[in-house]
Amino acid sequence: MDNKNEVNYSCPIEYTMNLIAGKWKLVILWHLSQEKVMRYGEIKKSLNNITHKMLSQQLKELEADGFIHRKAYSQIPPKVEYSLTSLGESFFPILESISKWGKHHFKENEK
């Protein structure tokens, strides 16, 4: 889990926010929770306006923090698949709550 364990957090929210910080991490986790296994290109297509560099960075951080598993196949062309780990799956109820909240308030703001 990177050096995030070395920091003394004042509360569990601060710890969690540090792990999921990043514009795309929650969206990546959401798509993986819906599809179960996705290739890099599929993830990129599902995210609007993300750069290759940003997607690569966010995936590496999620993997380092134990949220996702990366499986690389030794073939040409290269094939890499991403899926949620048990830690990532344990985060699904939180993602679902965020999604419900967003749907509710998105509709309210359209009025």
Q: b or e along 1-18 (b: 16 or more beta carbons within 10 Å of the residue's beta carbon)?
A: eeeeeeeeeeeeeeeeee
- Model pLDDT for residues 62-73, shown as the tens digit of each residue: 999 999 999 999
- Model pLDDT for residues 19-29, shown as the tens digit of each residue: 898 899 999 99
> Which of 95, 90, 86 lies closest to 26 in space, CA to CA?
95
Query: What's the CATH code of the domain at 21?
Result: 1.10.10.10
Q: How many residues does the chain have?
A: 111
Q: Which helix (H) or strand (E) holds 54?
A: helix 52-64
Q: What's the structural domain count of the chain? A: 1
Distance CA 41, CA 8 (A): 37
Domain span holding position 16: 4-110
Question: What's the confidence (pLDDT) of residue 1?
Answer: 46
Asked whether residue 111 carries a pLDDT value surpassing 90, the answer given is no
Give the mean pLDDT of 79-106. 93
Q: Which pTM value belongs to this model?
A: 0.83
Amino acid identity, position 110: E
